[in-house]
Structure 1
Amino acid sequence: MVIPVHDVNPVRRTPWVTYALIAANVVVFLRTPGAVTSPAGGAGPVELCQPQAFMAHWGAVPRELIHDAVPSLVPTGTAAIGPRGPGCLLAPPGYTKSPPLSVLTAMFVHASWLHLLGNMLFLWIFGNNIEDRLGRLRYLGFYLLCGYAAAYGFALADADSATPLVGASGAIAGVLGAYLVLYPRARVWSLVPFLFFIPLRLPAWVVLGLWFVLQAFYSAGYGLSGAGTVAYLAHVAGFVVGALLAVPLRGGTRRPPPRPGLASRW
C-alpha cells in the first residue's frame, strides 16, 4: 500500500480545526483504558476487559444504531470465569447511552497506537486543504457528517453486528474523497513499497484512488483473511459521501495565492 507523507498543496490559513481534531483524538486515546500500556504478552483478563467495556460504552454499535436501543447486558471491566474459560462479565449498563450520539463519541476513540497514528497521518496531510476550501465551521460540519454517514452506512449493511465501531477513519475517508474531487492533480510525496520503501511524488488521484480501490476490495471480503476487525465498508461510505459533497465546489472560483510561509504540513 502507498503511504502518503506530505502533499504539495499550499493553504491560505492555519488549519486550526484540523489541529484541534488531531489533539482531541490524542487526548481521548491517552485516557482510554490500556492505551499507554498496550495489552501484550502477559496481559491479564482485566487488562483486556477494561478496554472492551470502554469501547462498548463510547463506540457506535451497529445493532444499537439500527434499533435505537442499548442491550440489557453489556461488557464490564471485570473478568469472569465461564464455561468456556476466562471472559468479561456482562451486566446491565451502569450508564445512559444514546446510539445516535455514540457515533460522535466513537469518532474520537481508537483501539491502538497504530490505529490512531494511521488516521491522524491522513488527517494531517489532507485535512488542511479541505478546511481551507470549506472554511472552519463548514469543514467541521462536513467532517462530522461524513463520520455519521460512514457509521450508519456500515450499520445498515450489518445490522445485527454487536461489535463497536471506533475511530475517525470514516470521517477522514470523507476528507479524502473531497480531496480527490477538488485536488486530483495535487502532488503527494508517498512511500511506495518495492523491495523497500521508495519516496515518489505522485498525483493525488493515484494515491487516493488506489486507497479507495483497496478499501472497496477489502470490504467485499477479498485480500485480507484477518480483516474482520476493520470496518472497510465504513471507509467506502465515508469516502463516497465526502466526494459527492465536494462535487458542487469544483466549479468555484480559484483560490487566491497563499500567504508567504503557509504550506501544507506533514
Structure 2
Amino acid sequence: MFPIHDDTPRTNGRPYVNYGLIAINIIIFIYEAIITSYFSNIGNLFSNYGAVPNLILSGQNLVSLFSSMFMHGSIAHLLGNMFFLYVFGDNLEDRFGHYKYLMLYLLWGIIASFAHSIYAISTGSGDVPAIGASGAISGVLGAYLIFFPHAKIHTIIFAFFITTVRIPALAYIPFWFIMQLIFALIGQSGGVAYLAHIGGFLAGVGTAYFWKFFSHIFNGPSVVNSKIDKMSQYQPLKNDLPDTDVSPEIIIGNGFMDIIIQARGIHMDANIQTEFDNSTNILSVQISEFNKTYSIPIPNINNSVLKISSVSVLNGVIKIRLEYEQ
C-alpha cells in the first residue's frame, strides 16, 4: 500500500518547510551521486555522515544525528520517504506552524536515531551507519494519527491488479506501525532500521498528545469564554440532529474559524446553502444532495461578529470559513 495524497485541507497557507525538507533531501541525494561517481564509492561518505550507533551513544560525531536524516542510499529509498513526507507532513506544518514543525521534525529524527542505536548495539551491529529520513517521517505519521485520525488516505494497492482506495488514517497508520513491530520482532532487517521507525513514531504520538492537551500554554487561549478555552484547535462538535452522518470539526485561527465537515460521497459541485445567525451563534448548513440541514453551534469569540467568507468542497470534505475582526 502506497499513499499518494490525503483529503485533509490546509488552512494556513503553503507548507514551505515541508517543501524545503523534500528539496534538501533531493539536493543532498544528487550531491551524493556526484561525489561518489554514482554511488560506486559510498562507504566513506556514510561512515562520516551517517549515524554510527557506537559513536552516537559514546557522545561522538553527534552532528551525524542531523546529517544522517538527509542522506539516502538509493533512488527508491529517497522517493519512498519523500512521498510519505509529502502526503503527511503538510498538515502537521499547518497545525504546528513553520518553525515548530521544523524543530519537531528534527527532534523526531534524533529520537529515532537513538532508538535505533540502542537496538543496533544490542544486536552487535553498532558499527553500521544508519541513514535516511524515515525515522523523522515516522514521527510525522505518529503525530498525524493523533491529529487527523479520520482523514482519508488515497492509497495505491498493488496485488493481482493495481487500484486506488481511500483508507482512514485510523486504519492505515496503525497497520503500518504493526508491520514495523512485526519485522522488528522477527529480526527482518534487510537494511531497514525498524527500531528507528518505532522510536520516531512513538515520539510523534507523544508530541501530538502533549500538544493537544497543553498547546494553550504556549499559544495562549484562542477565546475568552472559559469553556471554549479548553477546546483543542481541532475538536469535534456535536450536531443537534440525531441522524447526522457527518462529523463537524472546528479550527480556530487568527481572524478566522474553519468548520470542517466530512461528507462521504458529496460531489464538488454540490449545492450547499449556509447561513450564520450571530444572535444564536448557530451555523445552518443545507446540503441538497443529502436532503438534510445541519445546525452547528459555533463558539463565541470575544463577542465578535462572524460572517461566512467562503464555502468549498474537496475530496468529500466541506470547508466553511467564518471570519471575524480581532
Give CA-to-partner distance per residue, 1:68-92, whole Å, 9 cap, x none.
24xxxxxxxxxxxxxxxxxxxxxxx
| 2:17 matched residue in structure 1 | 17
Q: Find out whether 1:212 has 2:177 as its counterpart.
A: yes
Aligned residues of 2:135 and 2:199 also touching (Cα < 8 A): yes
The normalised TM-score by structure 1 is 0.77
The answer for unaligned runs of 5 or more in structure 2 is 214-231, 235-250, 252-256, 261-309, 316-326
CA contact 1:34–1:51 (8 Å) conserved in 2: no
Which one has the bigger strand percentage? 2
Question: Identity, % of aligned pairs?
Answer: 35
Question: Equivalent residues in 2 for 1:126-137 (5 A)?
Answer: 126-137=88-99
Cα drift, residue 183 of structure 1: 0.5
TM-aligned CA deviation for residue 38 of structure 1: 5.2
Looking at structure 1, the residues matched to 89 and 314 of structure 2 have their Cα atoms a distance apart, in angstroms, of 13
Residue 191 of structure 1 deviates from its aligned partner by 1.4
Do the aligned partners of residues 65 and 16 (structure 1) sit closer, same or farther apart at CA in structure 2, a change above 3 Å counting?
same
Matches within 5 A, 1:224-243: 224=188, 227-243=189-205
Q: Which one has a larger percent helix, Structure 1 or Structure 2?
A: 1
Q: Give RMSD over aligned pairs.
A: 2.3
> Matched residue of 2:172: which SS?
helix
2:68 counterpart of 1:106:
yes
Q: CA offsets per residue over residues 27-75 of structure 1, 9 Å max, x none?
A: 0000004689756xxxxxxx2xx21111111101001111124xxxxxx
Letter in 1 for 2:25: N
Q: Among residues 40, 53, 59, which one is paired with 2:50 in the alignment?
A: 59
Gaps of 5+ in 1: 40-46, 70-98
- Give the SS at the match of 2:51: coil
The whole-number CA distance in structure 2 between the counterparts of 1:5 and 1:131 is 18
* Structure 1 partner of 2:222: none
Matching of residue 68 in structure 1 with residue 59 in structure 2 = yes
TM norm structure 2: 0.64
Higher RCO (CA < 8 A, seq sep 6+): 1
197-206 or 117-126, larger mean C-alpha shift: 197-206
Aligned partners of 1:189 and 1:152: how far apart in 2?
32
Residue 253 (structure 1) aligned with residue 221 (structure 2): no
The one-letter amino acid of 2:71's match is V
Moved over 4 A (4+): 34-39, 258-264
Paired residue secondary structure (2:186): coil
Q: Secondary structure of the residue that 2:32 maps to in structure 1?
A: coil
Is this contact kept in 1: 2:180–2:194, CA < 8 A? yes
Deviations 1:188-235 (A, max 9, x none): 11112331222111101111111111111111125x4xx331101100
**Does the aligned pair in 1 maintain the 2:50–2:131 contact within 8 Å?**
yes
Say yes or no: does 1:30 pair with 2:30. yes
Give me the whole-angstrom Cα distance separating, in 1, the residues matched to 2:311 and 2:43.
47
Aligned residues: 222
Shift of 1:242: 0.4
Counterpart of 1:145 in structure 2 is 107
Verify: 1:185 aligned to 2:150, yes or no: yes
